[in-house]
Structure 1
Amino acid sequence: TGRSCEDPWVVASSLIGATRQLKFLVAVRPGLHQPSLAARMAATFDRLSGGRLLINLVTGGDRAELAADGVFLDHAERYAQSAEFIRVWREIVTRSHEGEAVDFDGRYLQVQGARLLFPPVQRPHPPVWFGGSSEPAHALAAEQVERYLTWGEPPAEVARKLADVRARAERLGRRVDFGIRLHVIVRETEDAAWHAADALISRVDDATIAKAQEALSRMDSEGQRRMAALHRGGASRSRAALEISPNLWAGVGLVRGGAGTALVGNPQQVAERIREYADLGIDAFIFSGYPHLEEAYRFAELVFPLLPRAVRQRLQGQGAAANGPIGEVVANVDAPSRLRAQS
């Protein structure tokens, strides 16, 4: 979602026509986007994709990258701004189905008469996904989002985070779903999987790790701090040092920011670890691998057959049909469908 990535909206848009069932989790960045513009982008994408958009609210944690993008708020202020942003975004998109406008006068954001003339397919709005490990992040998740995401920490730590967000949401009369972000290294045998994990970092020298960790330490992200604590700076690269929970390996985080853990093992072991997280209440898993395409094939061939039937059935779902826009907007005020309904 930052400068190390291609622009997510451009990339995702380029794939709409090449896919039928794939859903797109696309980032919005408070401070870089304005909520009215983000609402138009989301509604357009949702219509063109037939209702396949998911929104990833990203507050950011790399102060140098944020400064380069013109964002100079501290950690607490960024979360306060993000809370205002997603509140306004949700209201604009939700009210678009009835042709209503939104006024908002907050500390960080102000809009007057914000309207979205062409609503999205999904009602009331595309689901909002969000991850964060700090107290302000948990508060935002409980109040504003549909799905809370965590990086791959040991199950006991994940359980504590989920319990906190769940309890906060319940006090507000809300329900939040949960997801997890992990890498995967799966092979037909356990030995082969751990050999692949060792090979992945075999050419990373101490100087590279030190440089990466020094850069990551400047972030003010609680999630990044928790990832770094798992591998303890890479003092040792042995399996004993980096296997922080059964089949959960922290080696990726030696040089990668963000999600720094991988499930490593044979198909049965990986499937069992997935079930352990699912038992905590997680029903969305975001996986990746190195190289990504090859690991995706391995996962599909080796792990998919071991997943519960309900999970495999969900993979066969279809997206909704697009519903417009049709006609011409009149004087930048009314959508043709609204005028047609009033006539």
Structure 2
Amino acid sequence: MNVFWFLPTHGDGRYLGTAQGARPVDLAYLRQVAQAADGLGFGAVLIPTGATCEDPWVVASALIPVTERLRFLVAVRPGLTSPTVAARMAATLDRLSGGRLLVNVVAGGDPVELAGDGLFLGHDERYELTREFLTVWKALLEGETVTFAGQHLRVEGAKLAFPPVQRPHPPLYFGGSSPAAHRLAADCVDHYLTWGEPPAAVAQKLEDVRMRAGLAGRRLGYGLRVHVIVRETDREAWDAAEALIRHVDEEAIARAQRAYARSDSEGQRRMARLHGGSRHNLEVSPNLWAGVGLVRGGAGTALVGSPATVAARMQEYAELGIETFVLSGYPHLEEAYRVAELLFPRLPLARPTAGTEAQPVIHLSPVGDTGSVDSARPHDAPAFTLGG
């Protein structure tokens, strides 16, 4: 499994739907989260995009120098940026990071937000634009000189002066639940992402995308974007889930659902149907909780339970073909540690390893004890100092 984390550039805190327990998200905090993810062994971090988020490209650029192996899943927005400029940005960030860029293709789903950014295309038209955008973007990064005339985009003699590190281009990730989105995924991207729906629904979506990709002679990777609430016991985890929405009242839910209802995103509609705007019966599948979506757009479900329980649920998705899990939790700094400490030991992680790195050392005796270290632990046990 590849396990990614999330940078909360739209805000963070202990509770949803309230300013209580909220914390400002500045560069220092984002650096803490990114460095924690880097040191703990997360493969990448997703940086969200939208009018209520800090710009993901600027954020990624600021965090490259303070991380070592961490990769950054950064959004391109067809229609808001030209494919030639986006290709130069991608090549530059990939080069300056030493090949640590992943690209998240976001067609958009909120007509009000899109209008504010000057984009007035309908749902399927945005996917047609995205297809044209990716045709130009990929050709440029592959080293071609591009002349292209489509329904929405036109370029003449475009080319890149600097190639990316990753060839033929940084990997493309994309999520969408409509037929238009599935067609685009099958034809144009490298990894298809879905939000955390019940396994049967995820299986149906993956089957459709896989079939379409096969007809196009292509093979994709698949990922799941979902929150996670893991504690030492199932009971503690469910208590933490309830605590997360402790300050959410009915008016806050209604206000949020009105805002999300204006979206033409099929994925957002599917998230909304899971909870129906009600805080009752939020466990929509074993250990899959829809409470996040009451007041948060986009990914609105969480896997809830003990390490063994959550690992078992993740394995169920893995058996459907999910290879990458894009996780998050509130607050993101503390939960990154909790997920790594409780959940990682139970997962078959695909983590980069450096052969020259020293093995960690655990001393169970107090610092300064003169007894034999070997007598305190097995020879093959990694070790940290506890006490002293």
Shared topology, TM-score over 0.5?
yes
For residues 196-244 of structure 1, the C-alpha deviation after alignment (integer angstroms, 9 at most, x for no partner) is 100111110000100000110011000000000000111xx24xx0001
TM-score calculated relative to the size of structure 1: 0.88
Residue 192 of structure 1 is matched in structure 2 by 236
1:306 lines up with 2:346 in the alignment: yes
1:78 lines up with 2:107 in the alignment: no
| SS state at 2:148 partner | strand
Q: Which structure is higher in helix share? A: 1
- Which residue of 10, 35, 38 corresponds with 2:86? 38
Measure, in 1, the Cα distance between the counterparts of 2:151 and 2:289.
42
Check conservation: 1:75, 1:220, Cα contact below 8 A.
Answer: yes
1:260 lines up with 2:300 in the alignment: yes
Measure, in 2, the Cα distance between the counterparts of 1:163 and 1:316.
33
Residue 268 of structure 2 is matched in structure 1 by 224
- Which residue of 124, 138, 162 corresponds with 1:90? 138
1:144 lines up with 2:192 in the alignment: no
Residue 17 of structure 1 is matched in structure 2 by 65
- The residue type paired with residue 105 of structure 2 is L
Measure, in 1, the Cα distance between the counterparts of 2:336 and 2:294.
22
The Cα shift of 1:4 comes to: 1.1
Residue 161 of structure 2 is matched in structure 1 by 117
The Cα shift of 1:87 comes to: 1.1
| SS state at 2:226 partner | strand
Residue 367 of structure 2 is matched in structure 1 by none
For residues 155-193 of structure 1, the C-alpha deviation after alignment (integer angstroms, 9 at most, x for no partner) is 110000001000000001000110110101010011110
Check conservation: 1:42, 1:53, Cα contact below 8 A.
Answer: yes
What stretches of structure 1 move > 2 A for 4+ residues in a row?
Answer: 313-318
- Which residue of 271, 283, 289 corresponds with 1:243? 283
Check conservation: 1:21, 1:317, Cα contact below 8 A.
Answer: no
| SS state at 2:325 partner | strand
Check conservation: 1:169, 1:176, Cα contact below 8 A.
Answer: yes
Residue 325 of structure 2 is matched in structure 1 by 285
Measure, in 1, the Cα distance between the counterparts of 2:201 and 2:352.
28
1:48 lines up with 2:92 in the alignment: no
For residues 78-99 of structure 1, the C-alpha deviation after alignment (integer angstroms, 9 at most, x for no partner) is 11101110111001111x2xxx
Measure, in 1, the Cα distance between the counterparts of 2:291 and 2:237.
13
The Cα shift of 1:314 comes to: 2.5
- Which residue of 304, 312, 330 corresponds with 1:272? 312
1:316 lines up with 2:353 in the alignment: yes
Task: Number of aligned residue pairs: give it.
Answer: 307
The Cα shift of 1:316 comes to: 3.0
- Which residue of 242, 245, 264 corresponds with 1:201? 245
- Which residue of 202, 209, 212 corresponds with 1:165? 209
Measure, in 2, the Cα distance between the counterparts of 1:276 and 1:314.
20
| SS state at 2:303 partner | strand
Cα–Cα, structure 1 residues 199 and 210, in superposed 2: closer, same or farther, change >3 Å? Answer: same
Measure, in 2, the Cα distance between the counterparts of 1:82 and 1:34.
11
Measure, in 1, the Cα distance between the counterparts of 2:233 and 2:145.
58
1:28 lines up with 2:72 in the alignment: no
Unaligned segments of structure 1, at least 5 residues: 319-343
For residues 258-316 of structure 1, the C-alpha deviation after alignment (integer angstroms, 9 at most, x for no partner) is 000000000100111111111111111100001111111110000000112xx2x4243
- Which residue of 46, 52, 62 corresponds with 2:110? 62
- The residue type paired with residue 77 of structure 1 is E
Residue 44 of structure 2 is matched in structure 1 by none
Measure, in 2, the Cα distance between the counterparts of 1:207 and 1:193.
26
Check conservation: 1:103, 1:113, Cα contact below 8 A.
Answer: yes
The Cα shift of 1:23 comes to: 0.6
